[in-house]
């Protein structure tokens, strides 16, 4: 069945709302407006205001309310319009949701799912365009997901809602209009990375909105005789180190592509793990392609220049492989 990434997200939430009366959706514009990216269009009419709750402009407040609802036995899906706005709720996410199981000695869990759009490429300037996934992947006590395919957009929400601990799902805004086929078997886990393309010359490791660019780069490299293996991390915390290591044992070279900034990035963590676990497998230094160290610009040509792009990825691979 062919569908968009947006429709896959919508179907996943619809299925959850139908299957479990404890599930409800809360966030800014999720009801009457149908969601900032139209992922909840029609939900208010179908499920009513008790289960589709438009929240005021206070991320700190409604994320906290979601935590309380989860502690009370419900299964909230809390939508934050963009990752930049989620910083207003960091106290609730990091100091409360992520820490309660530990601080209660295992007596309490917070089965909260927090969804948010992330990433640049839409000319929305610096307050709506950053990729801050690594900030959340740094925190023990939460799982961090980055679905980059139609299957993952459809299949990850169910396991996330079933998880007893908080799960943060990052949906890259550039992916919502992406279309693809949803197979009959679309169920997936929230624990492992995925090999999206097999190769023998270099491992291209990425996630989220960078996956289509990396796949396009791999296609271009193949035409030039370089077989790149593409690893989609999918799960940013906990990282699936074994899939990364297995790929390095096949290719012996790696380039990490991350839309976050280079300093303190998820790419840096992946590179560190490669060096810790696979150093003697490497035939060349590990490289990375990240966003430029600037707030994301508004002007289209400058925004494009600031982000990882296919030519940058191809050039980095050629430097690493010497081809």
> Which residues are known to be catalytic?
59, 128
Q: Which burial class, exposed, middle or buried, applies to 199 when counting CB atoms under 10 A from its CB (0-12, 13-18, 19+)? A: buried
Element housing 145 (H / E) = strand 143-145
What secondary structure does DSSP assign to 73-87, as a single string?
A: T-EEEEEES-HHHHG
Q: Which among 137, 144, 135, 213 is positioned nearest to 174, based on CA atoms?
A: 213
Tokens for 123?
Answer: 């000319």
What number of other Cβ atoms are within 10 A of residue 216's Cβ? 14
Residue with tokens 């319009």: 81
Q: Which among 121, 128, 173, 84 is positioned nearest to 302, based on CA atoms?
A: 121
């Amino acid at each position: 069945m062919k569908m968009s990434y947006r429709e896959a997200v919508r179907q996943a939430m619809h299925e959850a709302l139908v299957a479990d009366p404890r599930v409800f959706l809360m966030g800014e514009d999720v009801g009457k407006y149908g969601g900032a990216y139209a992922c909840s269009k029609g939900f208010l009419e179908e499920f009513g205001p008790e289960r589709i709750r438009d929240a005021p402009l206070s991320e700190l407040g409604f994320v906290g309310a979601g935590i309380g609802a989860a502690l009370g036995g419900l299964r909230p899906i809390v939508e934050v319009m963009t990752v930049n706005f989620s910083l207003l709720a960091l106290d609730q996410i990091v100091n409360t949701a992520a820490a309660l199981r530990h601080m209660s000695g295992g007596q309490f869990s917070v089965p909260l799912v927090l969804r948010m759009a992330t990433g640049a490429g839409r000319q929305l300037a610096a307050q709506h365009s950053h990729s801050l996934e690594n900030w959340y992947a740094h925190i023990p006590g939460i799982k961090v997901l980055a679905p980059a395919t139609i299957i993952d957009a459809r299949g990850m929400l169910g396991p996330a809602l079933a998880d007893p601990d908080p799960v943060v799902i990052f949906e890259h805004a550039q992916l919502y209009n992406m279309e693809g086929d949803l197979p009959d078997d679309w169920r997936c886990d929230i624990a492992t990375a995925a090999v999206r393309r097999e190769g023998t010359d270099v491992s291209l490791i990425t996630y989220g909105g960078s996956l289509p660019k990396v796949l396009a780069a791999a296609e271009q490299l193949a035409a030039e005789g370089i077989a790149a293996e593409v690893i989609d991390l999918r799960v940013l915390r906990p990282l699936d180190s074994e899939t990364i290591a297995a790929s390095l044992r096949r290719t012996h070279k790696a380039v990490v592509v991350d839309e976050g900034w280079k300093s303190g990035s998820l790419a840096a963590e992946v590179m560190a793990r490669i060096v810790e676990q696979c150093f003697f497998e490497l035939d060349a230094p590990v490289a990375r392609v990240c966003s430029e160290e600037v707030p994301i610009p508004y002007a289209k040509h400058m925004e494009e220049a600031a982000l990882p792009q296919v030519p940058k990825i191809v050039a980095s691979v050629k430097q690493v492989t010497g081809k």
